[in-house]
Amino acid sequence: MLFNSLEYFLFLPLVFALYWFVFYKSLRIQNLCLLLASYFFYGWWSYKFLGLLIVGTLLNFTYGSFVGDSNKKRAKRFLIAGVLSNLLILGLFKYYNFFAFEFQHAAVVLGFKTNPVFLQMALPIGISFYTFHGMSYVFDIYYGKQKPVSNIVDYGVFVAFFPLLVAGPIERAHHLLPQVQKPRSFKYESAVQGCRLILWGLFKKVVIADSLAPSINNVFYTYLHLNGVSLILGAIAFAFQIYGDFSGYSDIALGTSKLFGFEVLSNFKFPYFSRDIAEFWRRWHVSLSSWFKDYLYIPLGGSKRSKAITIRNTFIIFIVSGFWHGASWSFIIWGTIHAFAFLPLLLFNKNRTHTNNVVANNNHFPSLKEVIQMLSTFLIVTIAWIFFRMNDLKQSLLYIRQIISSFYKQPQNLFSYVSELNIFYYVIPFILIDWYLRKDERQLKVPANSIFRWSMYVTMVMMILYHLGGNHSFIYFQF
């Protein structure tokens, strides 16, 4: 069920009404309502994979009970078993074919005959997200951040809460589970903010991201016949498409969660205003980068040991992050590019320069230095996005080569037949609105005057309805 579909516009008010007006007297029944609604939401995609979600939930619920053992050696054994079980399920469905193909290719190169079996099945939607939910539960219990829960319904809501289920944010057990377990009351102001976030998220997805998609598809499908300027504009457009698409989903998820009394983790904090790659990763897909920091980077030693170990750990989390997105060398290269961009900051101890301060925090406009920093960071990120979008290493390199060759072989044609200029109709307003909102991603600023405010709401709704059509899936559903 898509957030931008008619089915969801019927589903959400129905669940909201049952949750607050029918089952409001019992927390247990409210949670059961959320769990059943979440399973229905997921089963709408494929009832076949709903069983996999339930099995994963039962496994981690059981492992969590054993990981809570007071005997640390026994607890560690169950932690390892739990993590390996999750990785086995994820690896089977998401990575098996990749490794089987690479094994076959290596065997051919070495002169061996192989005939590996490939799985003929679709990737279960959201498997990377709800698997990481489950692993965070056993990790948090082992590290003493969360106690094992005794109610399987409460735990099931944490894993399968429908706004987060298929594309995050990736929640932590110690953050969301306590909210599931305590009574919740309806808060009008929170609900209003939730509706604003849903509206803004739909606007980013439907009006901006989906409108950019045709031009982007044209560029990336016919890149060998286009000039360098068109290819550069196509890469820039994709940078804003994926941002509008994924942050739009996250805003809808955050807003929907507010409607049900939950405060979930932020996932985007205006990443394209970042002044270096380190800041970018504190602002882009925050829930994933912090998950890897908490459960991989720090257990590996983080930055507390030698510089060499710190560099090793940094490359590990960036490469693993790339591989998390998909079973392809292009995703690994995407992560590696970010690792190399991060490396100078790490070597010169500049990786925490911009931790809490917002660009141009006390000014309306950035300084020249900040503009240069933001543009150089965006350039690196956009080059990396080419590998992400192509999802094929050879094609990605050909795309970049076509840009370069176009500049020195056919400079006279650089501005010929550039049809992608229409992307700026969407990109420039997007940048300006983000700049206005940049200080707080959770509380959207709206005009104080009620006439202006409602005029803005009506305009956004009309634009969404005008652009709505085709029920375009969200990009991150494939991960």
Residues forming the active site: 325
Please answer whether residues 147 and 20 qualify as being in contact, where contact means their C-beta atoms are separated by less than 8 angstroms: no
Return phi, psi of residue 366, to 5°: -75, 160
Those residues whose C-beta lies under 8 Å from the C-beta of residue 294, and which sit 6 or more positions away, are 139, 172
Here the tokens at position 79 are 């932690």
Backbone angles phi, psi at 182, to 5 degrees: -110, 150
Closest CA to 173 of 207, 203, 204, 135: 135
The alpha carbon torsion through 132, 128, 62, 171 (nearest 10 deg) reads 40
d(CA 139, CA 80): 10
Q: How many CA atoms lie within 13 A of 45 on its CB side?
A: 23
Which whole-number Å values give the CA distances from 298 to 15, 317, 337, 352, in the listed order? 39, 10, 22, 16
DSSP codes joined into one string, 66-85:
HHT-S-HHHHHHHHHHHHHH
The DSSP annotation for 175-200 comes to HHHHHHHS-----HHHHHHHHHHHHH
The distance from CA 97 to its chain's CA centroid, rounded to whole angstroms, is 23
**Tokens encoding 118:** 């490939």
How far apart, in whole angstroms, are the C-alpha atoms of residue 437 and residue 269? 10
